A and B are shown apart, each in its own frame.
Chain A
Amino acid sequence: MSDLAVDVRGVSKRFRLAHGQYNSLKERLIHGGRRQVTEDFWALRDVSLSVREGETVGILGRNGSGKSTLLKCICGVLQPTSGEVAVRGKLAGLLELGAGFQSDLSGRENIYLNGSLLGMSKRQVDRVFDDIVDFSELEEFIDGQVKFYSSGMYVRLGFAVAVNMDPDILVIDEVLAVGDERFQRKCIDRVNQFQREGRTILLVTHSADQVRSICDRGIVLSHGRLVAEGEPGEATRIFREGLMAEGAGMAIADSDYVAVPASPDSIGSDVLPDAERPVRFRSVHHVFSGDNTVPYMRTGDDLTVRVEFEAFYPTEDVVFSLEVRDASENMLMRTDTSIIGVHIDAPVGVGVMHFGIVDMPLLDGNFSYAVGIQSRSGILYDWKENAGTFEVMNPGKTTGSLRMDVHAAVISSGDDTHDASAALARPL
């Protein structure tokens, strides 16, 4: 029991959605004795979850599935309607894009404010202050009021504060999706460092790839219930299939996901029932050029993925997508026909389309691919996880995972080392 960092015991959270909410005393008085019409909405229903110390857990779910509410309950920002959460150790959270800042204060003052809210003394904050500023890269702006910060700067400061307050438990909601790519990289590096140091991390994300690459365990929430819990790959699969089963109208483009804070009114508006999915897969195969007597392809061969689909209604502007992953489920590439610039209309009946990967740049390894069908607006019609696997063998002697055309040339040679280093210093 003692090694549990977070113990969520049967937590439920109810929100009262009031129709035409009377948000002032005046309105209450005007509307007199009539009781407000309210509707109960359960954001969480009897969710139990144990996170051991040092574990990294990813929470997956669609918008409105209760992910953010769960994190808020864990952080203690929201109180559950029933059940309770036990949190052992210091917790720092980044809820919905950023830490809690007082917009009238400067970045510097907000760092101290946040520190004292987390129970640190001024001296303790003094010690980490420089690290925070370094990490956030906001040296020039640190004495400016945060209301003048851009959203990127806001998130950077928030992340820097949270990770430098030496928390035992780090709770991150969606923040890894914002900021520029370099900063994202830096954040993920820091998360990895936290993992090595044995800290506990809870991560809410829409990005299945992030769960796969960072987490030890994934849980899937749907309509406020915990529907799956397990290996990250397994959780991701269930999450994707869950989306499918619901015919969920949700963009599947993980990498360019734009965070939308979950709000009760975004729920249940975009569900597409099974029967209304107009285009579905029939089969997916692949072939490769070159020596077809061996069960693997060689680097430099061409790979063709043949997709057979069936349209039940005439559907215009269908987008097919392709994702290639390596053996540890890292996404290597994602593209779709709209990116490639191929317009596909699907009249009723069976159709065939091809994806061709020319001159395979991958070196050795086992790879898999997934395919999807969606509307241009991102409504997912069908998705096939692990649609096929293929093995690549590299006939050359280069090692690693990717073929690059590398040239080598001698610029100068001889005894004069000074010259040689000068030559090296010259930009190539």
Chain B
Amino acid sequence: MAAEAAGVEARAPRRGTTTRIVAPTIGVRKRLRELWLSRELITYLVRTEIKVKYKNSVLGILWSMLAPAMSLAIYWVVFSVVLKNGIPNFVIFLFAGLLLWNLFQFGVLTGTGTVVANGGIVKKVSFPREILALASVGSACVFFLFQAIVLVVFLVVLHTVPDFAYLPVLLLALVAGVVLASAIAVLLSAVNVYLRDTQHLIEVVLTAWFWACPIVYSFQAQIESRLGPKGLTWIYFLNPVVPLVLSFQRCIYAKTVVPVHGVQTAVLPPNGMLWYVGLDLGVLFLAAVFFLVALAAFSRLEGNFAEEL
């Protein structure tokens, strides 16, 4: 009545309003559904994160390429020029592995710190918070695309042809890598709220992890040749990133046997495509399971975020 008197039209009751339940914990299945419903938010946050990161730098997005370019250059100089490992077109070999590794490392690293970094929002607005970690991995994917373009330029300039038959394997490895990075990022982003040095610890762990991947050295020449005869290669494969890196190298570097210092040497496993697919599928499966576990853990840890931040 009062509304009419004041000349304001009373709002029609909104149709299809949803009821949201705030309960002690939110189940994994419900979380997955909410993630799907919030997919627009993820893309928005990815854009935001990239914007924030390079907001105050003149070089802007180019800056993001500087660090990967630098590590590529350094590893190339050290292993190809100084130590002379003799792998032909080593820069392509290196780039193939680094491409995946950079995606993984960047996603895990920024994802770990993201809930704390976005405390201002987490404390005030309700939304599925794991999206923040996923957005970090999302922006890692954007940088991955930039780097992939640079790689294509390298390939053209150096007249190198990748093995296009292995492109589906590369994509499978990429998906597995993204899921794995997401799982770790979701878990650690929540842990980091309570134990703030997780962020620093993970940097150290990632450095060690990097050297445990066959990126700057050849798996076949350095690892398989030493561990293979003892039947211990499986230990090396406990590192789930190894098959993914190998898949990238197999597709992009393409050659499994190359002349090293004039001797024909195997640099990549001589196994067929099925071997790669099988390993990548295995990693993807484990990563997916880990992702669900991470969501469940996140659910338990999320309840007090607003107080802990």
> Are A and B bound to each other?
yes
B125 touches A87 (CB 8 A): no
- Does A105 make an interface contact (CB < 8 A)? yes
**Beta-carbon contacts under 8 Å, B188-238 to A:** 194-198, 201
A276 within 8 A of B: no
On chain B, the residues within 8 Å of A104 by CB distance are: 52, 55
Which listed segment binds B: A72-80, A288-296, A371-379, A399-407?
Answer: A72-80
Q: Is A101 an interface residue (CB 8 A)?
A: yes
In angstroms, Cα B55 to Cα A74, docked, is 35
Task: Report the stretch among B15-23, B258-266, B275-283 that lies at the interface.
Answer: B15-23
Residues of B within 8 A of A79 (CB): 22-26, 302-304
Chain A residues positioned under 8 Å from B195 (CB to CB)? 23-25, 28
Please give the distance in Å from A124's CB to the nearest CB on chain B: 11
In the complex, the answer to whether A74 meets B121 with C-beta atoms within 8 Å is no
Selected contact of A109 from candidates B51, B303, B305, B307, CB within 8 Å? B51
User: CA–CA, A98 to B55, complex, Å?
Assistant: 23
Binary per-residue interface labels of chain B (91-124) against chain A in the complex, 1 for a CB within 8 Å, 0 otherwise: 0000000000000000000000000001011111
Choose, from A111-119, A227-235, A324-332, the stretch at the interface: A111-119
Task: Evaluate contact between A24 and B197: CB separation under 8 angstroms.
Answer: yes
Measured between C-beta atoms, what is the minimum distance from B88 to chain A in Å?
45
Verify B303–A198 contact, CB threshold 8 A: no
The answer to whether A76 and B126 have CB atoms under 8 Å apart is yes
Answer whether residue A15 sits at the interface, using C-beta atoms and an 8 A cutoff: yes
Do the beta carbons of A78 and B19 come within 8 Å of each other? Answer: no
Separation of A74 and B2 alpha carbons in the complex (Å): 28
A199 to B14 Cα, complex, angstroms: 11
Whether A100 contacts B304 in the complex (CB less than 8 A), given A23-B194, A112-B44, A193-B8, comes out as no
How far is B40's CA from A84's CA once the two chains are assembled, in angstroms?
Answer: 28
Q: How far, in angstroms, from A402 to B5 measured CA to CA in the complex?
A: 26
Min CB gap A72→B, angstroms:
6
Instruction: A195 to B136: give the CA distance in the assembly, Å.
Output: 40
* Shortest Cβ distance from residue B119 to the other chain A in the assembled complex, whole angstroms: 9
Q: Please, which residues of chain B bring their CB within 8 A of the CB of A199?
A: 11
Interface string of B267-309 (1 = CB under 8 A from A): 0000000000000000000000000000000000011111100
Assess whether B121 is in contact with A102, with CB atoms less than 8 Å apart: yes
Query: What residues on A are CB-neighbors of B21 within 8 Å?
Result: 84-87
- CB distance B24 to A80 under 8 Å? yes
Q: What sequence of 0s and 1s flags, for each residue 324-348 of chain A, a beta carbon within 8 Å of any chain B beta carbon?
A: 0000000000000000000000000
Partner of B44, one of A23, A72, A116: A116
Give Cα A105 to B50, complex, Å: 11
The answer to whether A82 and B303 touch across the interface, beta carbons within 8 angstroms, is no
**Chain A interface residue count, Cβ-Cβ cutoff 8 angstroms:** 55
Residues of A within 8 A of B302 (CB): 79
Pair A100/B121 contact, Cβ less than 8 Å: yes
Given A79-B24, A100-B120, A168-B17, are A196 and B3 also a contact pair (CB < 8 Å)? yes
The chain B residue with its CB closest to the CB of A173 is B124
Contacting B at CB under 8 A, from A93-130, are 93, 95-96, 98-105, 109, 112-114, 116-119, 121-122
Does B41 count as interface, using CB distance less than 8 angstroms?
Answer: yes
**Given the known A-B contacts A25-B195, A53-B13, A199-B11, are A102 and B118 also in contact in the complex, defined by CB atoms under 8 Å?**
yes
Interchain CB contact under 8 A, A100 and B307: no
Scan B19-57; emit 1 where CB is below 8 A from any A CB, else 0: 111111110000000000010110011001001100100
Distance in Å from the Cβ of B117 to the closest Cβ of chain A?
Answer: 9
Task: List residues of chain A with CB within 8 A of the CB of B45.
Answer: 113, 116
Within 8 A of B (CB), among A232-276: none
Q: B6 at interface (Cβ–Cβ under 8 A)?
A: yes
Give the complex CA separation of A98 and B120 in angstroms: 10
Assign chain B's interface to a size class. 35 or more
Query: In the bound complex, do residue A100 and residue B11 qualify as a contact, i.e. CB atoms below 8 Å apart?
Result: no
Interface string of B231-261 (1 = CB under 8 A from A): 0000000000000000000000000000000
Q: Does B165 contact A (CB under 8 A)?
A: no
Q: Does A89 have its Cβ within 8 Å of any Cβ on chain B?
A: yes
- Distance between Cα atoms of A25 and B52 in the complex (Å): 29
Which residues of chain A are within 8 angstroms of B11 by Cβ–Cβ distance?
A: 197-199
Contact of A88 with B by CB under 8 A: yes
Whether B146 sits at the interface, judged by CB under 8 Å, is: no
Cα-based distance from A315 to B297 in the complex (angstroms): 58
- Among B126, B302, B306, the one with the most A-chain Cβ atoms within 10 Å of its Cβ is B126
| CA distance in complex: A97, B8 (Å) | 29
Please tell me if the beta carbons of A87 and B118 are within 8 angstroms of each other in the complex.
Answer: no
Residues of A within 8 A of B127 (CB): 117
Contact A100 B22 (CB under 8 A): no
How distant is A216 from chain B, measured CB to nearest CB, in Å?
12
B10 interface contact, C-beta 8 A: yes
| B17–A88 CB distance below 8 A | yes
A283 at the binding interface (Cβ < 8 Å): no
Question: In angstroms, how far is the closest chain A Cβ from the Cβ of B11?
Answer: 5
Asked whether, in the complex, the Cβ of B125 is within 8 Å of the Cβ of A93, the reply is yes
Distance to closest chain B CB from A275 (angstroms): 36
Chain A residues whose CB sits within 8 angstroms of the CB of B55 once the complex forms: 104-105, 145
Give Cα A367 to B201, complex, Å. Answer: 67
Q: Which residues of A contact B3 (CB under 8 A)?
A: 196-198
Q: A23 to B127: give the CA distance in the assembly, Å.
A: 25
Q: Which of B18, B26, B124, B201 contacts A25 (CB 8 A)?
A: B201
Expressed in whole angstroms, the Cα–Cα distance for A119 and B127 within the complex equals 9
| Residues A23 and B196 in contact in the complex (CB < 8 Å), given A76-B20, A78-B303, A112-B44 | yes
Q: How far is the CB of B35 from chain A (nearest CB, A)?
A: 13
Least Cβ distance of B71 to chain A in Å? 26
Nearest first, the 3 A-B pairs at minimum CB distance are A76-B126, A100-B124, A79-B303
Would you mind naming 26 contact pairs between A and B with Cβ atoms under 8 Å apart? A24-B197, A25-B195, A28-B195, A73-B22, A74-B22, A77-B124, A78-B303, A79-B22, A79-B304, A88-B17, A89-B18, A90-B17, A95-B123, A100-B121, A112-B44, A113-B45, A113-B121, A116-B40, A117-B41, A119-B38, A121-B40, A193-B8, A197-B8, A197-B9, A197-B11, A198-B10
List chain A positions with a Cβ less than 8 A from chain B: 15, 23-26, 28, 53, 72-91, 93, 95-96, 98-105, 109, 112-114, 116-119, 121-122, 145, 168, 193, 196-199
Q: 17 extra interchain contacts, Cβ-Cβ under 8 A, other than A77-B306, A93-B125, A145-B55? A: A25-B197, A72-B306, A73-B22, A76-B126, A78-B304, A84-B21, A84-B22, A88-B17, A93-B124, A101-B120, A102-B48, A102-B121, A104-B52, A105-B48, A113-B45, A168-B14, A197-B8
